[in-house]
Amino acid sequence: MELTIDNLSKTYSNGINALQDVSLTIEKGMFGLLGPNGAGKSTLMRTLATLQEADHGAVTLGNIDVLNEKNEVRKILGYLPQQFGVYPKISAEVLLNHLAVLKGITNKGERKEIVHVLLHKTNLYHARKQNLKGYSGGMKQRFGIAQALLNNPKLLIVDEPTAGLDPSERNRFYNLLSEIGENTIVILSTHIVEDVKELCEHMAIINQGQVVLKGKPLELIDQIEGKIYQKTIHKNELDVYKREYRVIHEKLFLGKPVIQVMSDIELDNGFTSVKAGLEDVYFTQINNLN
């Protein structure tokens, strides 16, 4: 099964062009959608999840018209939004069972088996009797994935799933998503570059509602290898360097600005060549439009 997005556009009533002719083809496995806050990622995810309308364009999932056959999509869709609520005074087992009923799993025996399998898969079985208010951020995210998997989805959408998680919880989440991605189309929408680098064989970068780059992360890194340079400068020199060089990123190290520059020719003048990474790919594209 394949997800095809063709010239999808959305403009809000306040005039913001959230999506501008977005076209992507996404196959089974992990697909990373990178972009800064406000880039249009969540608008695209909500549209694919049948939660809002597009102005024009087309989306197909296999032989299903996503924009016009919403109920058919929902039968095979799993969705973990950026923010989701839980009933704090209900246990994970009880709430998951209730959500399974809402998703049409009416056979009690079948439902019990599915709930227990998902609690094991998300490493929550030991805490299944615990009220959700006592769950950590990572445990709540894993519960979110469990509810998204209740109907054995063919398309799983996760929007900013690791924001706020500590490193150990984040790694657990990585492993879980990787396992799911072996048999499912998984779209990971995030602004955290490391998430895509760790998980996804294919990716796209979206900024200001436009897809500005798509491809395989390792191949995209190879395209800029040997072109990234770094230099520590004085604060009052930053504007000068921005005029003379293509500065893709700046940060502070020990209180001093460190700039990273992309150049097709070898740079001296105190610049040091550094190994390219996916973060550099990201900044070259984001800073093209900013």
pLDDT score recorded for residue 176 = 85
Q: Are residues 116 and 249 in the same domain?
A: no
Higher per-residue pLDDT: 253 or 83: 253
Order of strands across the sheet that contains 56-61: 17-26, 3-11, 56-61, 64-65
Asked if residue 258 lies in contact with residue 222, where contact means CB atoms within 8 angstroms, the answer is no
Among 39-43, 55-59, 177-181, the range of highest mean pLDDT = 55-59
Q: Are residues 20 and 114 in the same domain?
A: yes
Q: Give CA separation, 180 vs 91, 97, 107, 122, in Å.
A: 24, 21, 24, 11
User: Is residue 44 scored above 90 in pLDDT?
Assistant: yes
User: Is residue 233 scored above 70 in pLDDT?
Assistant: yes
pLDDT (mean) for 200-216 = 95
Q: Give CA separation, 201 vs 32, 80, 87, 220, 230, in Å.
A: 8, 21, 36, 11, 28
Our CA dihedral for 153, 155, 157, 161, rounded to 10 degrees, sits at: 60
Asked if residue 189 lies in contact with residue 249, where contact means CB atoms within 8 angstroms, the answer is no
Q: What is the pLDDT of residues 106-160, one digit of tens each?
A: 899 999 999 999 999 888 999 999 999 999 888 888 898 899 999 889 999 998 8
In a domain, 135, yes or no: yes
Q: Domain total for the chain?
A: 2
Whole domain around residue 30: which residue ranges? 3-215
User: Is residue 206 scored above 70 in pLDDT?
Assistant: yes
Mean pLDDT over each residue of the chain, to the nearest integer:
91
Q: Are residues 80 and 100 in the same domain?
A: yes
pLDDT (mean) for 90-113 = 92
Name the strand (E) or helix (H) holding 9: strand 3-11
**Other CB atoms closer than 10 Å to residue 38's CB: what's the count?**
14
In a domain, 104, yes or no: yes
Q: Are residues 13 and 95 in the same domain?
A: yes
User: Is residue 290 scored above 60 in pLDDT?
Assistant: no
Q: Are residues 253 and 178 in the same domain?
A: no
pLDDT-based confidence at residue 288 (cuts at 50, 70, 90): low
Q: What is the CATH number of the domain that holds 44?
A: 3.40.50.300
Asked if residue 184 lies in contact with residue 208, where contact means CB atoms within 8 angstroms, the answer is no
Q: Are residues 163 and 30 in the same domain?
A: yes
In a domain, 55, yes or no: yes
